[in-house]
């Protein structure tokens, strides 16, 4: 089955700097790659996703890139703010056919 590796496990950045979280996946059939943000005491919440027919997608300060050949995808957060501090999870699946397989998470701390 699918295996998703996520790095780094923890990340600290200064407010205003950029943060990058990387994930690799094993199943070449996977074609849907969402990112979830989990704030303390809450469930994960979808923040952005990308499908395999797209190489990059942006939503304000957040962007996701996908390299299907190398089987990796990344989350980029620009101009980080303290409220970006949270645990971020990447995930992968065969869209519509398989449940999401999640990475182990990255704890992002934005230092004011």
Partner 1 sequence: DAGITQSPRYKITETGRQVTLMCHQTWSHSYMFWYRQDLGHGLRLIYYSAAADITDKGEVPDGYVVSRSKTENFPLTLESATRSQTSVYFCASSESDRSYGYTFGSGTRLTVV
Residue 7, judged by CB atoms within 10 A of its CB (0-12, 13-18, 19+), counts as middle
Question: Percent helix, strand, coil in the chain (nearest 5)?
Answer: 5, 55, 40
* 37 binds partner 1 per the rule CB under 8 A: no
83: three-class secondary structure by DSSP: helix
Q: How far is the CB of 59 from partner 1 (least distance, A)?
A: 15
Span interacting with partner 1, options 12-20, 33-41, 58-66, 69-77, rule CB under 8 A: 33-41
Q: What does the alpha-carbon distance between residue 91 and residue 17 come to, in Å, rounded to a whole number?
A: 25
* 95 binds partner 1 per the rule CB under 8 A: yes
> x/- site string to partner 1, residues 55 to 94, per CB under 8 A?
----------------------------------x---xx
Q: What are the residues binding partner 1 (CB under 8 A)?
A: 1, 6, 32, 34, 36, 41-46, 49, 89, 93-105
């Amino acid at each position: 089955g699918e295996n998703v590796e996520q790095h780094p496990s923890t990340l600290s950045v200064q407010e205003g700097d950029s943060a990058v979280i990387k994930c690799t996946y094993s199943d070449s059939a996977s074609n849907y790659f969402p990112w979830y943000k989990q704030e303390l005491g809450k469930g994960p919440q979808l923040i952005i996703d990308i499908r395999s027919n797209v190489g990059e997608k942006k939503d304000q300060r957040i962007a996701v890139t996908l390299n299907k050949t190398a089987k990796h995808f990344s989350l980029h957060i620009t101009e980080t703010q303290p409220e970006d501090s949270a645990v971020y999870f990447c995930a992968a699946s065969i869209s519509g056919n398989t449940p999401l397989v999640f990475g182990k998470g990255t704890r992002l701390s934005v230092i004011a």
